[in-house]
Structure 1
Amino acid sequence: MVAPPLPGELAVKCTFWVNISEVGDCPTSCAIESSSVHIGPLRPQSFLPPTTPPRFPSSTVTMKDGVLDDTFTTAPVQVVPALNEKHHTTLAPIHDKGYAPGQVIPTEDELATLPRIAGSMPWTAYMLCGVEFAERASYYGCKQVFKNFIRAPLPVGGNGAGAPPRGSQKTAGALGKGTVIASAMTDAFTFLAYALPIFGGLLADAKLGKFKTICIGVAICGVAHVIMIISAIPSIIQAGHAIGPFALSLYMLAIGAALFKPNIAPTVLDQNPHKKPHVIEKNGNKFLVDPEATSESVMLWFYLLINIGAFIGIATAYLAKYVGFWSAYLLPGVIYFMLPVLLFFVNKRLVKTGHGGSALGNFISVNFLALKNNGLKGFGRADYWEKAKPTWLADHGDTKHRDWTDAFVEDVRRTMAACAIFLFFPIQQINDGGLGAAANAQSASLTSNGVPNDVLDNFNPLAIIVLIPIMDHGIYPLLRKLGIRFGPIKRMTFGFLIAAIGASSFAVLQHFIYTTSPCFDKASTCEIGTGVSPLSLWIYAIPVGVTACSEVFINVTAYGIAYSRAPPNMKGFVMALSLFMTAISTAISLATADAIQDPYLVWAFAAPAIIGFVAAFVFYWLFRDLDDEDFFVNIEEPINNSAATDEEMYNSSLNDKNGGHNAVKDLKV
């Protein structure tokens, strides 16, 4: 029996009961005068309550300095004081996963009526966005000139470093291997860079953790950049020895990117302290901090910096044309070496999650068991996943021990829905960049007047750089203010339609190239007169910019879907599945390479556009119900508590209460 409370202490009456069927889950019911305090369960997993739960006798306990103590608990339970007790009495304890200490839990009425806003993010999240900028700047800066480096020979009369004579219509070149080998090498590079992340994600989930895997990828890419610069030294190109070191650096870069890419976005989202909706007060008004809006907002900035990095391709295209390839590879390499400095600086300040073994084995087992118990005819039924849950199996006589819970089966259901969504991405990616080398052939058939033919591809990142701030600070906040839910499925459907419209404009432009070229429908290989259509290369920027806008609605949304729907130890793997769709679109381009030539280039754009329009409506019909699901994040326990202590998270919540003015970055309405 606990001693009576001393002055300054608060007497609390508590009743504790233990669920015998699953030791360790101890829901607790407490009352502090008239205020309701929610505690537990300690782990948010489903369990079978006994018919008559055994109850211990009630006892009086004391609370001092926010800690409850009694004779039945094995450890003190911390109760965090409410931030705004005058307006709200339900608050989050330290053990309630998804809520940081002190975050105010909304009522059902508040969930339905309060205006939603994006919450503030810690500065480390934006530092990681800077890491992504440096990596993508180096990746796209080099990739911009790969095809010309491989395809074209050293220009006659040039400077010997790959640059053509000034004032000529020639493109930069070095190896002279032709279009077929250039397409094969660059497409193989892209395929590996987006297929190998499957292994990079698994390695991070099961063995190394995301941050360590990122660092290994950074080291590999750093070596690759050094070798690539060496391969572009003029004397090595002129001696015919460049192909070996260049090929080595090319595929090392793909391997390093495959370790880096599937883990960087989940690491950024790990920094988000807003896992569930909670209430804050700004300027006397109450708002609901929306985890989905917060994730969407930080991923918009993440994607913005990716495309600012991709804009480096303009500089490298001009460097290759007017200086030489050594300078075109040197600039991305210099930018790349910002990465180790940034990672070292944020290392001890990051929220890091443990690896603890991938859940892939259980994921596969749940899928197999659901299929076995339902059969092919049951696929897609409402109760399809119920038949893989331990509770259902126990009710139907299957007493075999399973290593997963009912909640994990729900995670699998959500993950499989995400994977099905990803299957629609290849058609958007083909519409975005063109099938095979069709877009490159189109740009080479237009009058450039000294502008490198590949520089107009950079209108893709330019359009994204312009659109993202408009969406983040204008359109999305306005829709939230008006109470219009522009959910992930609606956003992605809109993106598919934009991509199809852009591909249609590519097809129209190609038709006019054929009608105005000196060689008509042999435009891409024409050598009559100037060899190009009198149409300006700048027209090509229009379809490039239109299709780029689709990425803001599809790719950015995909980051949030992959992160929020993945089980805790599969986030890297599920993100890699999203990236793998780019590998599939590249494989389709490789398979159709022989058909991507005159006089069929109009259909190289028109056919994917038609498929894209149809796919957009099919996509919405299949997944429209997912827009109604609540956004939530599967929580991983941080392994670096120095990066986000309870006190710091509490202070972060105080920043939210004060309107986020103490935060480094406030993503506001």
Structure 2
Amino acid sequence: MSQVAPTLDLIAAPAPPPAYLGGGSDKEKNVYASDDDHTPNVTSGVGSENDDDEIEPTEEEYEKLRKVPATIHWPAIALCLVEIAERASYYGSKKPFANFVRGALPKGGNGAGAVAKGAAGKNQTAGALGMGSVAASAVTSTFTFLSYVIPILGGIIADTKWGRWKTICVGVAIGAVAHVILVVPAIPSVIASGHAFPPFIISVIILAFAAGFIKPSLAPLMCDQSPVKRPVIKTTKSGERVIVDPQVTVQRYMLIFYWCINIGSFWMIVESYVQRLVGFWLAYLLPAGIYVLVPLVMLLIYKRLYFAPPQGSVLLETLRVIKQFYRTNGFFKGLKGGDHTWESIKPSHILAKVGTLDKKIVWDDLFVDEVRQALEACSVFWLLPIYYLADGGIGNMENDMSAAMTLNNIPNDLFGNFNPLCIIVFTPIVGLMYRYFEKINRPIRPMTRLSIGFALASINMIIGALVQWRIYSTSPCGHYATDCEAGVSPIPLAWMIPLSALPGIGEIFIAVTAYEIAYTRAPARMKGLVVAISLFNQAISAAIGLALSDVIKDPYLIWPYVALAVANFVCVFICPTVFRHLNEPIREFANVERMAGKLQTTREKNENSGQLRDVTRGDHV
């Protein structure tokens, strides 16, 4: 398929040369050139024979012409490497948590948590603390909850105080401390002393804070590097007129970013065997070694990136807009929404109606529109916990399922790694599918993608219910199969492959689309916070898992699968009906000057007259 410029292909594509380091056209240099440090004069940045003619499409052209992504520059690719290393260390550390807490030291093992050698360890699982499945579920759910609720704090700090880069750097430093501490409770002598849990839980909490500072800023920082900020018409070498579209570009960036997340998380396969064959000390030491790559890559790319500066007042302004919205329209009318309700709080409307503006109204009309589209985007995010509960199950129920199956010397948590494997394999396929439908001008809209993800989750839960039923039917202990001392079910562990594979494919449609919606519909100065809100839904699912950890156990493990199958099936129809308005494309959402606060109108007092007047930030009163 002819492209305007070499776009990063998920299968194989070289990075474009960094023209701004020397050589290249003035056009390419202009993408990163700046009068101020790290503040570029961003243009479309797309290589084309007609770079001098950046024509914005008409409404008719925007509907009819094929949309293509812009080039991804190598600093953005380097950020992908940061994500791979950070996620490898994160998931590599998280993977052994359940076995470390749940199981006791295996009989005949080496004292570090590894199973016994030979036939004695064939159906054993790695373990250390022996606190049981309820405690293991509580620890893993707490870690997940913190890892996805702390990004709210990280996003606020990034948007209002530190900026994305500094927030990431602080998170990286915190993560380094966490990885060092995490090795301590896994030392055999510490396990034997009975005092391993306190340092373990401390390191878990610190690691969650590190993830909370890194995660809400890294994806937006990568998308900030996109060279195209508004739709422009280009002509390909074949003569086809196409639209280089910012939303399609962000969609491609997010696919690549999520693919990198799962390249990193695939390290969990190594962790499954390391904890089983060597012990937990090495299982926690290896992720720490990988983590060293994160600061090294960041040092290399620091001077090559664009950083959107933090805007200290943006959160307060947003809260004021929301307060004014409900004060003007009332609670129930506000919930119903509609164009007229939002028009009623725009300064232009108030000025025309009343003739004057309250001094507390410091926003402009465009900011009202930005807050509206952000709240509309956040409304669909509340469906996501239903999906995430089906992606891995509630609490520790899939780990309990695997512990009751025939292992044949395979780690009980091995097949959970089919989730990232499927994402790695199917992300390029899904990307090609998107390109095909874009080529025939039938793009797969965001709500359709979410529906596909929910459908896969529903099928996954149906399979889970059937597998759990078969385990109960064949276990020597019947409906109490998880901790059965009489033996395990003859059902092989391979039956769990669909329970990891289908959610993995579903994540490509669910999680990537959520990232895209969050970035493209967030106000220009609040992208970190809105991305964090999309991530927060995983914290909600973890909180539900934590709350239900005492009841999600034998003999009731079939029913959670049934409930989630029904809930996800309902969501298949909610997305394209209730939220169909989110299918409308956003043509411009990352204006660099507005992200820097320069185009935000505020109201300031004139020192001479004492009167309030509208001032665009960057002007002098």
Cα shift readout 1:559-608 (whole Å, capped 9, x = no counterpart): 11111111122111111111111111111111112221122111111101
Whichever residue aligns with residue 224 of structure 1, its letter is A
Find 1:478's aligned residue among 412, 436, 439: 436
1:312 aligns with 2:267: yes
Cα shift readout 1:435-455 (whole Å, capped 9, x = no counterpart): 111111111121110111111
What does 1:106-145 correspond to in 2, within 5 Å? 106-108=56-58, 109-145=60-96
Query: Which residue is equivalent to 1:394?
Result: 351
Q: Which residues of structure 1 form unaligned runs of 5+? A: 1-79, 84-93, 641-669
Contact 2:172 2:210 in 1 (8 A): yes
Find 1:617's aligned residue among 569, 573, 578: 573
State the alpha-carbon separation in 2 of the partners of residues 124 and 308 from structure 1. 19
What does 1:300-449 correspond to in 2, within 5 Å? 300-379=255-334, 380-382=336-338, 383-397=340-354, 399-401=357-359, 402-449=361-408
State the alpha-carbon separation in 2 of the partners of residues 573 and 375 from structure 1. 26
Whichever residue aligns with residue 444 of structure 2, its letter is F
1:240 aligns with 2:198: no
SS in 1 for 2:490: strand
Change (3 A) 1:103 1:549: farther
How far residue 82 of structure 1 moved from its aligned partner, in angstroms, is 11
Find 1:150's aligned residue among 101, 111, 119: 101
Query: Which residue is equivalent to 1:28?
Result: none
Q: Which residues of structure 2 form unaligned runs of 5+? A: 1-24, 29-38, 46-50, 597-621
Query: Which residue is equivalent to 1:540?
Result: 496
How far residue 99 of structure 1 moved from its aligned partner, in angstroms, is 5.0
Query: Which residue is equivalent to 1:298?
Result: 253
State the alpha-carbon separation in 1 of the partners of residues 587 and 458 from structure 2. 28
Whichever residue aligns with residue 487 of structure 1, its letter is R
State the alpha-carbon separation in 2 of the partners of residues 565 and 103 from structure 1. 28
1:494 aligns with 2:448: no
Cα shift readout 1:15-52 (whole Å, capped 9, x = no counterpart): xxxxxxxxxxxxxxxxxxxxxxxxxxxxxxxxxxxxxx
Query: Which residue is equivalent to 1:48?
Result: none
State the alpha-carbon separation in 2 of the partners of residues 512 and 362 from structure 1. 56
SS in 1 for 2:491: strand
Contact 1:209 1:354 in 2 (8 A): yes
Query: Which residue is equivalent to 2:55?
Result: 105
Q: Which stretch shows the higher mean deviation, 233-242 or 199-208? A: 233-242
Change (3 A) 1:97 1:298: closer
Aligned residue pairs, count: 548
Whichever residue aligns with residue 366 of structure 2, its letter is A
State the alpha-carbon separation in 2 of the partners of residues 331 and 600 from structure 1. 37
SS in 1 for 2:579: helix
Percent identity of equivalent pairs: 43
Whichever residue aligns with residue 399 of structure 2, its letter is N
How far residue 377 of structure 1 moved from its aligned partner, in angstroms, is 3.6
State the alpha-carbon separation in 1 of the partners of residues 151 and 128 from structure 2. 30
How far residue 466 of structure 1 moved from its aligned partner, in angstroms, is 0.8
What does 1:123-202 correspond to in 2, within 5 Å? 123-166=74-117, 167=119, 168=121, 169-202=123-156
State the alpha-carbon separation in 1 of the partners of residues 115 and 586 from structure 2. 57
How far residue 304 of structure 1 moved from its aligned partner, in angstroms, is 0.8
Whichever residue aligns with residue 423 of structure 1, its letter is W
1:583 aligns with 2:539: yes
Change (3 A) 1:278 1:156: same
Whichever residue aligns with residue 538 of structure 1, its letter is A
SS in 2 for 1:288: strand
Contact 1:201 1:259 in 2 (8 A): yes
SS in 2 for 1:279: strand
State the alpha-carbon separation in 1 of the partners of residues 314 and 468 from structure 2. 48
How far residue 95 of structure 1 moved from its aligned partner, in angstroms, is 12
Query: Which residue is equivalent to 2:181?
Result: 227
How far residue 181 of structure 1 moved from its aligned partner, in angstroms, is 2.2
State the alpha-carbon separation in 2 of the partners of residues 339 and 195 from structure 1. 23
SS in 2 for 1:355: coil
Whichever residue aligns with residue 190 of structure 1, its letter is T
SS in 2 for 1:458: helix
Change (3 A) 1:162 1:445: same
Change (3 A) 1:177 1:610: same
How far residue 231 of structure 1 moved from its aligned partner, in angstroms, is 2.4
Q: Which stretch shows the higher mean deviation, 480-489 or 109-118? A: 109-118
Find 1:522's aligned residue among 463, 472, 480: 480
SS in 2 for 1:344: helix
Cα shift readout 1:278-319 (whole Å, capped 9, x = no counterpart): 122322323211212211112111111111111111101100
State the alpha-carbon separation in 1 of the partners of residues 499 and 183 from structure 2. 33
Whichever residue aligns with residue 386 of structure 2, its letter is I
TM-score after normalising by structure 1: 0.79
State the alpha-carbon separation in 2 of the partners of residues 253 and 585 from structure 1. 19
State the alpha-carbon separation in 2 of the partners of residues 459 and 197 from structure 1. 27
How far residue 98 of structure 1 moved from its aligned partner, in angstroms, is 6.9
Query: Which residue is equivalent to 2:601?
Result: none
Contact 1:311 1:461 in 2 (8 A): yes
SS in 1 for 2:526: helix
SS in 1 for 2:70: coil
Contact 2:454 2:569 in 1 (8 A): yes
SS in 2 for 1:280: strand
Q: Which stretch shows the higher mean deviation, 585-594 or 100-109? A: 100-109
Q: Which stretch shows the higher mean deviation, 371-380 or 116-125? A: 371-380
How far residue 619 of structure 1 moved from its aligned partner, in angstroms, is 2.4
Q: Which stretch shows the higher mean deviation, 280-289 or 604-613? A: 280-289
Contact 2:134 2:550 in 1 (8 A): no
State the alpha-carbon separation in 1 of the partners of residues 261 and 40 from structure 2. 36
State the alpha-carbon separation in 2 of the partners of residues 537 and 627 from structure 1. 40
Contact 1:351 1:638 in 2 (8 A): no
Change (3 A) 1:194 1:104: same
Contact 2:395 2:546 in 1 (8 A): yes
SS in 2 for 1:521: coil
Which entry has the higher C-alpha Rg, 1 or 2? 1
Whichever residue aligns with residue 300 of structure 1, its letter is L
Query: Which residue is equivalent to 1:265?
Result: 219
